[in-house]
């Protein structure tokens, strides 16, 4: 009895293997099959008095090769793009907990210390930073003298022009630059602490306290 059951099981296994589905074809293979079917159909139904010449067949085979090559190239590009994004995400994750400077004019004083930044497209003969409270009252004006082009950071200890000390909290600052006696471009930069990193269809995004969500390209300096 057991022998019959054994044979029946083997037979069922054989039947199952015989009806197993073939592996799904890739996009490249499907494109090749469609192209070849069209070419074969064209050759079967060609006019006997005006058959396809070798040049036409060669041309169409070359098109097949081109289509296949493009599909393979697209697959390779997608693979490289995925690897590049993964590498970016790995690098960006190393910025968690780090301070970054991005466009903004907020200045947060904590434990008697605040950090801000300035971006200068060109060198300046004089750079002046003006710090004010939320109501717009100027607390301190700092002359930073001549500066080279680029990104620079500065610290504020809460000191005021009147000799007092500002309380911890949120403040604003503005920057003015002078070159050759004329106003020059100067961009204020705010500090943010990276808390997390995310990825979406737009790429890598850093989520920084005080600055919000930032693309990597928006970071001017890492502290």
Q: 126 with 180: CB under 8 angstroms?
A: no
Q: Of the given ranges (70-79, 112-121, 137-146, 202-211), which has the lowest mean pLDDT?
A: 70-79
Both structure tokens of 95: 């910025």
Residue 167 reports pLDDT greater than 70: yes
Which spans in 94-162 are helix H?
none
How many other CB atoms sit within 10 Å of the CB of residue 193? 15
Q: What is the DSSP string of 149-167?
A: SEEEEEEE-SB-TTS-BPP
Q: Of the given ranges (64-68, 154-158, 166-170), which has the lowest mean pLDDT?
A: 64-68
Query: pLDDT for 18-67, tens place per residue?
Result: 555 556 666 656 766 776 677 677 666 665 555 555 566 566 666 666 65
Per-residue pLDDT, 37: 76
Of the candidates 200, 191, 193, the one whose C-alpha atom is nearest the C-alpha of residue 89 is 200
Per-residue pLDDT, 78: 66
Residue 113: which H helix or E strand, with range? none
Q: Is the pTM of this model over 0.85?
A: no
Of the candidates 87, 30, 91, the one whose C-alpha atom is nearest the C-alpha of residue 64 is 30
Tell me how far apart the alpha carbons of residues 101 and 190 are, in angstroms, rounded to a whole number. 5
Q: Of the given ranges (46-50, 148-152, 155-159, 207-211), which has the lowest mean pLDDT?
A: 46-50
Query: pLDDT for 87-139, tens place per residue?
Result: 667 777 888 999 999 999 999 999 999 999 999 999 999 999 999 999 999 99
Per-residue pLDDT, 94: 84
């Amino acid at each position: 009895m057991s022998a019959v059951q054994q044979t029946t099981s083997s037979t069922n296994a054989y039947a199952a293997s015989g009806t197993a589905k073939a592996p799904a074809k890739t996009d490249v293979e499907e494109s090749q099959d469609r192209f070849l079917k069209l070419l074969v159909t064209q050759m079967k139904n060609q006019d006997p008095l005006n058959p396809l010449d070798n040049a036409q067949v060669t041309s169409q085979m070359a098109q097949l090769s081109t289509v296949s090559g493009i599909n393979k190239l697209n697959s390779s590009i997608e693979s490289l793009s995925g690897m590049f994004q993964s590498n970016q995400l790995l690098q960006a994750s190393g910025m968690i907990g780090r301070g970054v400077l991005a466009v903004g004019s907020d200045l947060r004083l904590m434990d008697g210390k605040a950090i801000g930044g300035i971006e200068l497209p060109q060198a300046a003969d004089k750079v002046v930073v003006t710090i004010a409270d939320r109501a717009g009252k100027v607390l301190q004006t700092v002359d930073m003298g001549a500066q080279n082009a680029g990104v620079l950071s500065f610290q504020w200890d809460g000191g005021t022009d009147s000799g007092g000390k500002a309380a911890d909290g949120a403040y604003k600052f503005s920057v003015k630059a002078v070159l050759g006696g004329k106003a020059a471009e100067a961009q204020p930069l705010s500090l943010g602490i990276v808390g997390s990193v995310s990825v979406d269809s737009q790429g890598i995004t850093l989520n920084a306290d005080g600055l919000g969500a930032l693309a990597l390209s928006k970071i001017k300096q890492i502290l």
